[in-house]
Amino acid sequence: MTDPKPYIDEDGEVRELDGHFFANARRGRPPLPSSARKHRVTMMLDPDILARLKSEGRGWQTRANALLREALGL
């Protein structure tokens, strides 16, 4: 069997989606390889540290991760 024709050409134009596309379509992003997945942990933080992280609003966990990466030189 030949490789299916790509749905996006060199110019970024999308061709008409056919039955093969919809038969194989999946919702969401493809899963990350296990080496790239984040791990859920539980840790105790001082109230002032947690308040400071949360003071900038949503995404405080991502900011905490970035601060840890910087502090550890990663």
What is residue 3's predicted lDDT score, i.e. its pLDDT? 62
What is residue 48's predicted lDDT score, i.e. its pLDDT? 97
In three-state form (DSSP H/G/I as H, E/B as E, the rest C), the secondary structure along 4-30 is CCCCECCCCCECCCCHHHHHHCCCCCC
Q: What is the pLDDT along the chain (74 residues), one digit of tens a residue?
A: 566 788 888 899 998 998 988 998 889 988 889 888 999 999 999 999 999 999 999 999 999 999 999 999 99
Domain ranges of the chain: 19-72
What is residue 31's predicted lDDT score, i.e. its pLDDT? 86
What is residue 2's predicted lDDT score, i.e. its pLDDT? 61
d(CA 4, CA 20): 9
What is residue 9's predicted lDDT score, i.e. its pLDDT? 87
Answer yes or no: are the C-beta atoms of 7 and 15 closer than 8 Å: yes
